[in-house]
Protein backbone atom coordinates (compact mmCIF):
# COMPACT_ATOMS: atom_id res chain seq x y z
CA UNK A 1 0.00 0.00 0.00
CA UNK A 2 1.31 3.44 -0.96
CA UNK A 3 0.42 6.13 1.57
CA UNK A 4 0.76 9.83 0.83
CA UNK A 5 0.86 11.79 4.08
CA UNK A 6 -0.27 15.35 4.69
CA UNK A 7 0.67 15.99 8.31
CA UNK A 8 -0.46 19.05 10.19
CA UNK A 9 -0.80 19.82 13.88
CA UNK A 10 -0.84 16.92 16.31
CA UNK A 11 -4.24 15.48 17.10
CA UNK A 12 -7.00 13.78 15.17
CA UNK A 13 -6.27 12.54 11.67
CA UNK A 14 -8.19 10.88 8.88
CA UNK A 15 -7.12 8.48 6.17
CA UNK A 16 -8.80 8.65 2.76
CA UNK A 17 -8.59 5.90 0.16
CA UNK A 18 -8.16 6.71 -3.53
CA UNK A 19 -7.70 3.16 -4.78
CA UNK A 20 -6.21 -0.16 -3.83
CA UNK A 21 -2.69 1.26 -3.69
CA UNK A 22 -3.19 4.80 -2.44
CA UNK A 23 -4.23 6.03 0.98
CA UNK A 24 -3.69 9.62 2.02
CA UNK A 25 -3.42 10.81 5.63
CA UNK A 26 -4.77 14.28 6.43
CA UNK A 27 -4.65 16.02 9.79
CA UNK A 28 -8.13 16.87 10.95
CA UNK A 29 -7.33 20.57 11.21
CA UNK A 30 -6.60 20.69 7.47
CA UNK A 31 -9.45 18.44 6.34
CA UNK A 32 -11.60 19.90 3.57
CA UNK A 33 -14.13 18.53 1.13
CA UNK A 34 -11.53 18.85 -1.63
CA UNK A 35 -9.63 15.97 -0.05
CA UNK A 36 -12.42 13.59 -1.05
CA UNK A 37 -12.23 14.34 -4.77
CA UNK A 38 -11.53 11.06 -6.53
CA UNK A 39 -11.79 9.02 -3.33
CA UNK A 40 -13.41 5.60 -2.94
CA UNK A 41 -15.14 3.98 0.07
CA UNK A 42 -12.79 2.99 2.87
CA UNK A 43 -14.05 -0.60 2.94
CA UNK A 44 -15.00 -2.80 0.03
CA UNK A 45 -18.57 -4.07 0.10
CA UNK A 46 -18.58 -7.29 2.10
CA UNK A 47 -20.99 -10.19 2.08
CA UNK A 48 -20.73 -13.45 3.95
CA UNK A 49 -22.97 -16.41 4.57
CA UNK A 50 -25.29 -16.01 7.52
CA UNK A 51 -24.81 -12.27 8.02
CA UNK A 52 -27.79 -10.47 9.51
CA UNK A 53 -27.47 -7.22 7.54
CA UNK A 54 -27.91 -6.88 3.79
CA UNK A 55 -25.21 -4.80 2.05
CA UNK A 56 -25.45 -3.71 -1.54
CA UNK A 57 -25.08 -0.82 -3.94
CA UNK A 58 -27.58 1.78 -5.09
CA UNK A 59 -27.54 3.82 -8.28
CA UNK A 60 -27.64 7.42 -7.09
CA UNK A 61 -29.16 10.04 -9.37
CA UNK A 62 -27.22 12.67 -7.41
CA UNK A 63 -23.88 11.02 -8.17
CA UNK A 64 -24.71 9.28 -11.45
CA UNK A 65 -23.04 6.13 -10.18
CA UNK A 66 -23.34 3.35 -7.60
CA UNK A 67 -23.07 4.16 -3.88
CA UNK A 68 -22.57 1.29 -1.45
CA UNK A 69 -24.47 0.63 1.78
CA UNK A 70 -24.01 -1.96 4.51
CA UNK A 71 -27.56 -2.35 5.84
CA UNK A 72 -31.15 -1.67 4.86
CA UNK A 73 -31.23 1.21 7.34
CA UNK A 74 -28.23 2.75 5.56
CA UNK A 75 -30.06 2.27 2.25
CA UNK A 76 -33.04 4.16 3.68
CA UNK A 77 -30.83 7.12 4.63
CA UNK A 78 -29.18 6.93 1.22
CA UNK A 79 -32.57 7.12 -0.51
CA UNK A 80 -33.49 10.23 1.47
CA UNK A 81 -30.16 11.88 0.67
CA UNK A 82 -30.54 11.10 -3.02
CA UNK A 83 -34.05 12.61 -2.96
CA UNK A 84 -33.03 15.75 -1.06
CA UNK A 85 -32.52 18.66 -3.52
CA UNK A 86 -30.10 20.27 -1.05
CA UNK A 87 -27.71 17.32 -1.31
CA UNK A 88 -25.32 17.57 -4.26
CA UNK A 89 -22.77 14.94 -3.24
CA UNK A 90 -22.92 11.57 -1.47
CA UNK A 91 -19.92 9.51 -0.37
CA UNK A 92 -20.17 6.25 1.53
CA UNK A 93 -17.52 5.40 4.13
CA UNK A 94 -15.55 8.51 3.20
CA UNK A 95 -12.60 7.96 5.52
CA UNK A 96 -11.06 6.18 8.50
CA UNK A 97 -10.36 8.47 11.43
CA UNK A 98 -8.36 8.19 14.62
CA UNK A 99 -8.28 10.37 17.72
CA UNK A 100 -7.13 10.08 21.31
CA UNK A 101 -10.12 10.54 23.63
CA UNK A 102 -9.46 10.70 27.38
CA UNK A 103 -6.18 8.89 26.96
CA UNK A 104 -7.57 6.14 24.74
CA UNK A 105 -7.08 5.86 20.99
CA UNK A 106 -10.44 5.75 19.18
CA UNK A 107 -11.06 4.75 15.56
CA UNK A 108 -14.10 5.31 13.39
CA UNK A 109 -15.42 5.08 9.81
CA UNK A 110 -18.41 7.40 9.19
CA UNK A 111 -21.25 5.95 7.12
CA UNK A 112 -21.83 8.89 4.76
CA UNK A 113 -20.48 12.30 3.87
CA UNK A 114 -23.05 14.57 2.23
CA UNK A 115 -22.12 17.73 0.37
CA UNK A 116 -24.87 20.34 0.54
CA UNK A 117 -25.81 22.93 -2.06
CA UNK A 118 -24.84 25.62 0.47
CA UNK A 119 -21.28 24.29 0.47
CA UNK A 120 -21.54 22.80 3.94
CA UNK A 121 -20.74 19.17 4.66
CA UNK A 122 -22.86 16.79 6.72
CA UNK A 123 -21.40 13.62 8.23
CA UNK A 124 -24.00 10.94 8.87
CA UNK A 125 -23.80 7.85 11.03
CA UNK A 126 -26.67 5.37 10.81
CA UNK A 127 -27.62 3.30 13.83
CA UNK A 128 -30.86 1.47 14.76
CA UNK A 129 -32.73 3.29 17.51
CA UNK A 130 -32.24 0.53 20.07
CA UNK A 131 -28.47 0.45 19.51
CA UNK A 132 -28.17 4.23 19.47
CA UNK A 133 -29.51 4.27 23.03
CA UNK A 134 -26.73 1.99 24.27
CA UNK A 135 -24.25 4.08 26.35
CA UNK A 136 -21.22 2.50 24.67
CA UNK A 137 -22.62 3.20 21.20
CA UNK A 138 -23.56 6.75 22.17
CA UNK A 139 -20.02 7.34 23.38
CA UNK A 140 -18.55 5.83 20.21
CA UNK A 141 -20.65 8.20 18.09
CA UNK A 142 -20.25 11.27 20.29
CA UNK A 143 -16.55 12.00 19.84
CA UNK A 144 -16.68 12.08 16.00
CA UNK A 145 -19.65 14.42 16.30
CA UNK A 146 -17.75 16.75 18.60
CA UNK A 147 -14.80 16.83 16.20
CA UNK A 148 -16.85 17.47 13.09
CA UNK A 149 -19.06 20.08 14.78
CA UNK A 150 -16.01 21.98 16.04
CA UNK A 151 -14.63 21.74 12.50
CA UNK A 152 -17.70 23.58 11.16
CA UNK A 153 -19.32 20.52 9.60
CA UNK A 154 -22.80 19.23 10.37
CA UNK A 155 -23.16 15.90 12.15
CA UNK A 156 -26.11 13.54 12.32
CA UNK A 157 -26.88 10.21 13.95
CA UNK A 158 -29.85 8.81 12.02
CA UNK A 159 -32.11 6.00 13.21
CA UNK A 160 -35.06 6.26 10.83
CA UNK A 161 -37.96 8.47 9.78
CA UNK A 162 -41.72 8.31 9.35
CA UNK A 163 -42.54 5.02 7.58
CA UNK A 164 -44.99 6.69 5.16
CA UNK A 165 -42.37 9.23 4.08
CA UNK A 166 -39.79 6.52 3.47
CA UNK A 167 -42.31 4.38 1.58
CA UNK A 168 -43.18 7.32 -0.69
CA UNK A 169 -39.54 8.21 -1.34
CA UNK A 170 -38.71 4.56 -2.04
CA UNK A 171 -41.57 4.46 -4.54
CA UNK A 172 -40.48 7.69 -6.27
CA UNK A 173 -36.92 6.38 -6.47
CA UNK A 174 -38.18 3.94 -9.08
CA UNK A 175 -38.41 6.93 -11.44
CA UNK A 176 -35.03 8.49 -10.64
CA UNK A 177 -33.33 7.22 -13.80
CA UNK A 178 -33.93 9.68 -16.66
CA UNK A 179 -33.96 6.95 -19.30
CA UNK A 180 -37.01 5.16 -17.84
CA UNK A 181 -39.37 8.04 -18.65
CA UNK A 182 -40.44 9.74 -21.87
CA UNK A 183 -38.53 13.03 -22.02
CA UNK A 184 -41.17 14.59 -24.33
CA UNK A 185 -43.87 13.84 -21.75
CA UNK A 186 -41.69 15.32 -19.03
CA UNK A 187 -41.45 18.55 -21.06
CA UNK A 188 -45.22 18.52 -21.65
CA UNK A 189 -45.84 18.04 -17.93
CA UNK A 190 -43.64 21.01 -17.07
CA UNK A 191 -45.65 23.10 -19.54
CA UNK A 192 -49.23 21.95 -18.82
CA UNK A 193 -49.50 20.90 -15.19
CA UNK A 194 -50.49 23.74 -12.89
CA UNK A 195 -49.56 24.52 -9.32
CA UNK A 196 -52.21 22.96 -7.08
CA UNK A 197 -53.25 20.22 -9.52
CA UNK A 198 -54.00 16.85 -8.02
CA UNK A 199 -52.00 13.99 -9.50
CA UNK A 200 -55.10 12.54 -11.17
CA UNK A 201 -55.88 15.87 -12.82
CA UNK A 202 -52.29 16.21 -13.97
CA UNK A 203 -52.57 12.80 -15.61
CA UNK A 204 -55.78 13.94 -17.32
CA UNK A 205 -54.08 17.06 -18.69
CA UNK A 206 -51.42 14.87 -20.28
CA UNK A 207 -53.78 12.16 -21.55
CA UNK A 208 -53.87 13.53 -25.14
CA UNK A 209 -50.11 12.96 -25.36
CA UNK A 210 -49.70 9.45 -24.03
CA UNK A 211 -51.10 6.43 -22.26
CA UNK A 212 -51.46 6.46 -18.50
CA UNK A 213 -48.58 3.99 -18.12
CA UNK A 214 -46.34 6.57 -19.83
CA UNK A 215 -47.84 9.72 -18.34
CA UNK A 216 -47.65 8.77 -14.67
CA UNK A 217 -43.90 7.93 -14.73
CA UNK A 218 -43.21 11.37 -16.23
CA UNK A 219 -45.10 13.05 -13.39
CA UNK A 220 -43.47 10.93 -10.69
CA UNK A 221 -40.08 11.60 -12.22
CA UNK A 222 -40.66 15.33 -11.81
CA UNK A 223 -41.57 14.80 -8.17
CA UNK A 224 -38.32 12.92 -7.68
CA UNK A 225 -36.31 15.62 -9.43
CA UNK A 226 -37.77 18.31 -7.18
CA UNK A 227 -39.62 20.25 -9.89
CA UNK A 228 -42.73 19.70 -7.79
CA UNK A 229 -43.40 18.69 -4.23
CA UNK A 230 -46.34 17.12 -2.43
CA UNK A 231 -47.24 16.02 1.07
CA UNK A 232 -45.18 12.87 1.58
CA UNK A 233 -46.52 12.30 5.09
CA UNK A 234 -49.59 10.83 3.37
CA UNK A 235 -49.66 7.93 0.90
CA UNK A 236 -49.16 9.05 -2.69
CA UNK A 237 -52.25 8.76 -4.84
CA UNK A 238 -54.49 10.48 -7.34
CA UNK A 239 -55.51 13.04 -4.72
CA UNK A 240 -51.92 14.13 -3.96
CA UNK A 241 -51.63 17.87 -4.58
CA UNK A 242 -48.68 19.00 -6.68
CA UNK A 243 -46.91 22.20 -5.72
CA UNK A 244 -44.40 23.78 -8.05
CA UNK A 245 -41.04 24.41 -6.42
CA UNK A 246 -39.46 27.84 -6.69
pLDDT tens digits, one per residue of 197-245:
999 999 999 999 998 888 999 999 999 999 999 999 999 999 999 999 9
* Residue 206 counted as domain residue: yes
Q: Give Cβ neighbours of residue 99 (< 8 Å, ≥ 6 apart).
A: 11, 12, 13, 28, 105, 106, 143, 147
Structurally, how many domains does the chain consist of?
A: 2
Question: How far apart are the C-alpha atoms of 98 and 61, rounded to whole Å?
Answer: 32
Rounded percentage of the chain residues whose pLDDT exceeds 70: 92
Question: How far apart are the C-alpha atoms of 54 and 34, rounded to whole Å?
Answer: 31
Of 131, 158, 185, which closes a domain?
Answer: 158
Residues 133 and 207 in one domain: no
Q: Which residues of 200-214 are buried (b: 16+ CB within 10 A; e: fewer)?
A: ebbbebbeebbeeee
Residues 85 and 103 in one domain: yes
- CATH number of the structural domain spanning residue 53: 3.40.1350.10
| Beta-ladder partners of 107 | 98
Residues 154 and 46 in one domain: yes
Mean pLDDT of the chain: 91
Domain that holds residue 76: 42-158
Residues 46 and 129 in one domain: yes
Q: Phi and psi dihedrals of 92, rounded to 5?
A: -90, 140
Q: The whole model's pTM is what?
A: 0.91
Contact (Cβ atoms closer than 8 angstroms) between residue 103 and residue 138: no
* Residue 22 counted as domain residue: no
Amino acid sequence: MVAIRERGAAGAAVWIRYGADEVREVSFERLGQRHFDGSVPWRAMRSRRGQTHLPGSYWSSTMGTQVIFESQLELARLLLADFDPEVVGIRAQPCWMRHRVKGRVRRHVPDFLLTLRSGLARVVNVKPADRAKDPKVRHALAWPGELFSAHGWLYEVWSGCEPVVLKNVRFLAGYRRPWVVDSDLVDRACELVRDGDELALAEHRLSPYGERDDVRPALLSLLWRGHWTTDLTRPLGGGSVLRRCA
